[in-house]
A and B are shown apart, each in its own frame.
Chain A
Amino acid sequence: MISLEHVSRSFAVGDQQVYALRDISLDIAAGDYVSLMGPSGSGKSTLLNLIGLLDRPSSGTYSLDGKDVTALNDEEQARVRSEKIGFVFQSFNLVPRLTAAMNIELPLILAGIPSGKRKARVEGLLKDYGLSDRADHRPDQLSGGQRQRVAIARATSMHPSILLADEPTGNLDQSTGREVIDLLEILTEQNVALILVTHDPAIGGRARRQLHMLDGRVIG
Chain B
Amino acid sequence: MRPIDIASFASHSLQSSRTRTLLMMLAMSIGVGAVVVLTALGEGARLYVVNQFSSLGSNLVLVFPGRTETAGISPGMLLGQIPRELTMEDARALLKSRAVSRIAPMTIGSSEISYGPLNREVVVLGSTSDLLEVRHMELALGQFLPSTHEGEPVCVLGAKIRHELFGNASPIGKWVRLGDRRFRVIGVMGSQGESMGYNTDELVIVPVSAAHMLFNNSGLLRILVEAKSRDSIPRAKQDAESILLARHGERDVTVITQDAVLATFDRILRALTLAVGGIAAISLSVAGVLIMNVMLIAVSQRVKEIGLLKALGASSSGIRTLFFTEAALLSIAGSIAGLALGEAGVLTIAKAYPSLPVTAPWWAVLAAMGTALATGILFSVWPARRAARLDPVAALSGR
Contact = CB atoms under 8 A, between A and B. Distances in A.
B315 A75 contact: yes
Interface residues of B, number: 24
Nearest to B6: A109
B309 A81 contact: no
Contact of B310 (A78, A111, A112, A154): A78
B393 A107 contact: no
B311 A81 contact: yes
Interface in A76-118: 77-79, 81-83, 87, 89, 93, 95, 97-98, 106-107, 109-112, 114-115
Given A74-B316, A89-B396, A54 B2 contact: no
Nearest to A52: B311
B312 A97 contact: no
B316 A79 contact: no
A49 B391 CA distance: 11
B311 A54 contact: yes
Contacts, number: 67
B119 to A, nearest CB: 79
Interface residues of A, number: 28
B308 A93 contact: yes
Contacts of B308: 93, 95
B392 interface: yes
B9 A109 contact: yes
Contacts of B13: 97
A55 interface: yes
B230 interface: no
A51 B214 CA distance: 107
Contacts of B312: 81-82, 87, 106-107, 110, 154
B304 interface: yes
A55 B396 contact: no
A190 B149 CA distance: 116
Interface in A46-70: 49, 52, 54-55
A207 to B, nearest CB: 22
Given A97-B12, A112-B1, A78 B314 contact: yes
Interface string B1-29: 11011000100110010000000000000
Contacts of B1: 109-110, 112
Given A81-B313, A93-B311, 20 more contacts: A54-B311, A55-B393, A74-B317, A78-B315, A78-B316, A79-B313, A81-B310, A87-B311, A93-B304, A97-B12, A97-B16, A106-B312, A107-B313, A109-B1, A109-B2, A109-B5, A110-B313, A110-B314, A112-B1, A115-B5
Interface of B: 1-2, 4-5, 9, 12-13, 16, 304-305, 308-318, 392-393, 396
